[in-house]
Amino acid sequence: MAVDIIVPKDLWEEEVEGVIVAWLTEEGASVRKGDVVAEIMVKKVQFDILAPAEGRVRILKKADEIIRKGDVIGRIE
Amino acid sequence: MTPTREQKIWMYEHMLVSRYLEEMIEEIYMEGKTPAFNMAAGPIPGEMHLSKGQEPCAVGVCVHLKPFDVVTATHRPHHIAVAKGVDLNKMTAEIFGKATGLSGGRGGHMHIFDPDVNFSCSGIIGQSVGPAVGAALSRKLQKKEGVAVAFLGEGAVNQGAFHEGLNLAAVWKLPVIFVIEDNGWGISVPKTASTAVEHNDIRAQAYGIPGHYVPGNNPLEIFRVAGEAIARARRGEGPSLIEIETLRMAGHFMGDAEQYRPKEELAMLKARDPIVAMRTYLMTVDKMSEAEDQEIVTRARKRAEAAIAFAKESPYPRGEEALEKVFV
Amino acid sequence: MTTVTSNVRKQTIARAMAEAIAQEMRTDPRVFVMGEDIGQLGGVFGNTRGLFEEFGPERVRDTPISETAFIGAAVGAAADGMRPVVELMFVDFFGVCMDAIYNLMAKNTYFSGGKLSIPVVLMTATGGGYSDAGQHSQCLHATFAHLPGMKVVAPSNAYDAKGLMISAIRDDNPVIYLFHKALQGMGWLGTEPASIVHVPEEAYTVPIGKAATVREGRDVTIVGITSGVHHALKAAEQLEQKGVSAEVIDLRSLVPLDREHVINSVRKTGRLIVVDEDYQSYGVTGEIIASVVEADISMLKSPPKRVAYPDIPIPFSRPMEQWALPNPAKIVAAYESMVK
């Protein structure tokens, strides 16, 4: 079953957009639950995005793309 | 020593000029930097250290100074430059990296140099001290009028340059005043975690010079203490050290989310705005009317707007101009 | 270079550095970290993130702004059996503490007749390109490499960053670890995607003093370090479009310098371009060229070229700074002028 990789809604407080700095994995790579799969930046602060499950990564939003809280940026299949 | 009404208005107005200029810079700085905060992007690239909240330190000291007096400042220099009378248009153009800037775009916001009013600054912590001591020595040797004031942050007092400079100034009895702007924070490290004493005025004792601590970020108190120290230096009686409790209303640099700073402290920033306090004081004690306030506010804002407009309209230097001005 | 495998775990240089330090701290209680804003903030450039949370304030120590004191203290602690990792926030700040670095850290082993070991790692941020002006943008590669008694390393990607950090911590000598801000993977400094590569989870070493060929070619050898490697790789791609096959060497270490590696490559290609973001004169570019020429001048088909920072302080204004910085176009132009 696929699980979405979501930017947590409580990751930062203000209603501002962020950006994906880098994916720390690759399309199709296998990850464990809790692995850091991406780094995002809001203002000058960087946050880790963790794999919500074990499986293979599908990237839906690329590095440099703009993101909001709650966005689905990828999927674990 | 108490300021005249005119001096108080001067201080108020120069705080406003600095604040308006920085508010405009703040807005323009973010152009091209959202949502991806890339420091290199936008009309004002690079680091940006805002001084808002610290304006009282600048005006309370500089109101006593003449253009021939020397001021050296820090990586957070705007308020001091404004109070020292640095050419506002050329300074703003410098911050934008324009050819019309004070140094033709070579220095940027951490390297504001205006020899016409004897102002300079450095992006290296504590390095305001030596040049101020040297300027004071030069005045003494040349028997020329003038004192030197070195501004530095409370974080800088743990640099060797501070201690060496104080001792040198004291042993040679030079006309120099060291002004510590204590905003409580060295980037993310609080003063309590970095400095062994509560207030740095006590360190003056180690060099046999007067030390003063000014709490409250109050321009009038700063005026009094700085006035006495400057007068003492002008009389040839040697250096003084002043630590001023002030307020960093912004992050260390723009984009700083200040996650390290207690939420209660951040929440109180606006309530502790020294410009608001000064306005209230002027209205109650000096009977400044709404109309007079409006006039001052408008004048200050117009100066800042004109400087921004000048900077925006100015051309960029050509790339190869980088090769020029390495030597005179 | 990176091949798609089933368990690719990419890291930024910042993360790779922090991971390397953490792994060494877990296995070696002598390792501790000192510097400005390296605690809760995790370092201005992110390379100590997570360390304070894991190891606490005793081993991850925020310092006052007192570089002479804490770098001098690192020398003393190292001589007494500890393995300090210290951070000088910007390499430009070396001015306030160079005595502790080059008169103590670099020389105490020699002064003791080799009896004292000074295993300090001094990590410090280099590089410009983002309009931070002349006191926050320098590389100063040659300044440190010139002074005997310190090893000097400078990674261009996260794999080397981790391996070099572990080597540096385990080395019994002082190591200057230069990391370029634009390669660090901090979004606010721009991010060079090619510096974010696969990094194994386990601890491993990259040997100090060994260069790497990061792209093979026949017609010209382009030598670089940190940002220069990425400029060289991009230039090599552009040259390939023109039918020119460029070999790119990442020096990775400046001390010891892997001269043999460069010489062997030039022996094959017959042409040499050296790229460096540090000031040109008396610098890395001259040292590399001299090493090749001293070895065998006859292997050069044309005079070597350098693409380095001009001998000027780094200007703030974007058009001036960008004009002065090395870039792929300048490397391509250097090659074209060689074969004209």
- Domain ranges (residues) in chain B: 5-315
Predicted confidence band at C3 (pLDDT cuts at 50, 70, 90)?
very low
Whether B272 sits among the annotated catalytic residues: the reply is: no
> What value does the mean pLDDT take over residues C310-316?
98
3-state helix, strand, coil in chain B (%, to 5): 50, 10, 40
Length, in residues, of chain A: 77
Is C173 domain-assigned? yes
Contact B255 A44 (CB under 8 A): yes
Rounded distance between C-alpha atoms, residue C254 and residue A56, angstroms: 40
Pairing of strands A55-59, A30-31: antiparallel
> What value does the mean pLDDT take over residues A37-54?
91
Give yes or no: residues C251 and C296 share one domain. Answer: yes
CB crowding C103-137: b at 16 or more within 10 Å, else e: ebbbbbbeeeeeeebbbbbbbbbbbbbbbbbbbbb
CB contacts < 8 A, B to C, total 151
Is C3 domain-assigned? no
Percentage of residues of chain B with pLDDT beyond 70: 100
Task: Nearest chain A residue to C187 by CA: give it.
Answer: A21
Give yes or no: residues C184 and C98 share one domain. Answer: yes
Pick the catalytic residue from C36, C87, C136, C321. C136
Is residue C188 over pLDDT 80? yes
Least confident of A2-11, B279-288, C144-153, C247-256: A2-11
Contact C310 B126 (CB under 8 A): no
Contact C64 B105 (CB under 8 A): no
pLDDT (tens digit per residue) in B245-257: 999 999 999 988 8
Could you say which of C4, C11, C46 has the minimum Cβ distance to residue A28? C4
Looking at beta carbons, which residues of chain C come within 8 Å of B159? 65-66, 68, 96
Contact C187 A25 (CB under 8 A): no
Could you say which of B35, B255, B259 has the minimum Cβ distance to residue A19? B35
Task: Nearest chain B residue to C43 by CA: give it.
Answer: B188
pLDDT (tens digit per residue) in C204-251: 999 999 999 999 999 999 999 999 999 999 999 999 999 999 999 999
Average pLDDT along chain B: 97
Contact A24 C196 (CB under 8 A): yes
> What value does the mean pLDDT take over residues B181-193?
96
Asked if the C-beta of C92 comes within 8 angstroms of chain B's C-beta atoms, the answer is yes
> What value does the mean pLDDT take over residues B92-97?
98
pLDDT (tens digit per residue) in C265-286: 999 999 999 999 999 999 999 9
Give yes or no: residues C138 and C247 share one domain. Answer: no
Task: Nearest chain C residue to A24 by CA: give it.
Answer: C10
Predicted confidence band at B205 (pLDDT cuts at 50, 70, 90)?
very high
Contact C324 B317 (CB under 8 A): no
Three-class secondary structure of residue C151 per DSSP: strand
Residue B263 CB neighbours (<10 A): 9
Q: Which domains does chain A have, with CATH numbers?
A: 3-76 (2.40.50.100)
CB B274 within 8 A of CB B56: yes
Contact C188 A29 (CB under 8 A): no
> What value does the mean pLDDT take over residues B308-315?
98
β-partners of residue C33 are: C60, C85
Predicted confidence band at C6 (pLDDT cuts at 50, 70, 90)?
low
> What value does the mean pLDDT take over residues C37-63?
97
Is residue C1 over pLDDT 70? no
Residue C340: predicted pLDDT: 87
User: Is the bond preceding residue B45 a cis peptide, omega within 30 degrees?
Assistant: no
Closest chain C C-alpha to B123 CA, distance in angstroms: 6
Percentage of residues of chain B with pLDDT beyond 90: 97
Single out the residue in C171, C198, C225 at which a domain terminates: C198
> What value does the mean pLDDT take over residues B56-78?
98
Single out the residue in C198, C229, C251 at which a domain terminates: C198
Is C1 domain-assigned? no
Residue C7: predicted pLDDT: 76
Give yes or no: residues C124 and C228 share one domain. Answer: no
Asked if the C-beta of A44 comes within 8 angstroms of chain B's C-beta atoms, the answer is yes
Average pLDDT along chain C: 96
Indicate the CATH number of B5-315 among 3.90.180.10, 3.40.50.970, 2.30.40.10, 1.20.1730.10: 3.40.50.970
Token match 């005043």: residue? B177
Is C303 domain-assigned? yes
Residue A44: predicted pLDDT: 83
- For C24, the domain range is 10-198
Asked if the C-beta of A42 comes within 8 angstroms of chain C's C-beta atoms, the answer is no
Rounded distance between C-alpha atoms, residue C156 and residue C126, angstroms: 12
- Torsion sign (Cα): B250, B254, B257, B260: negative
Predicted confidence band at C191 (pLDDT cuts at 50, 70, 90)?
confident
Residue B161: predicted pLDDT: 97
Asked if the C-beta of A50 comes within 8 angstroms of chain C's C-beta atoms, the answer is no
Burial of C9 (0-12, 13-18, 19+ CB in 10 A): buried
Pick the catalytic residue from B248, B261, B279, B303. B248
Looking at beta carbons, which residues of chain A come within 8 Å of B256? 44
Closest chain B C-alpha to A56 CA, distance in angstroms: 28
> What value does the mean pLDDT take over residues A8-32?
90
Residue B321: predicted pLDDT: 98
Is C240 domain-assigned? yes
Contact C41 B110 (CB under 8 A): no
Chains that touch B (3 or more CB pairs under 8 A): A, C
Residue B61: predicted pLDDT: 98
Pick the catalytic residue from B19, B252, B261, B279. B252
Contact A46 C8 (CB under 8 A): no
Residue A46: predicted pLDDT: 87
Whether C231 sits among the annotated catalytic residues: the reply is: no
CB C227 within 8 A of CB C178: no
Token match 């001792």: residue? B167
Provide the domain count of chain C: 2
> What value does the mean pLDDT take over residues B11-21?
98
> What value does the mean pLDDT take over residues C72-84?
98
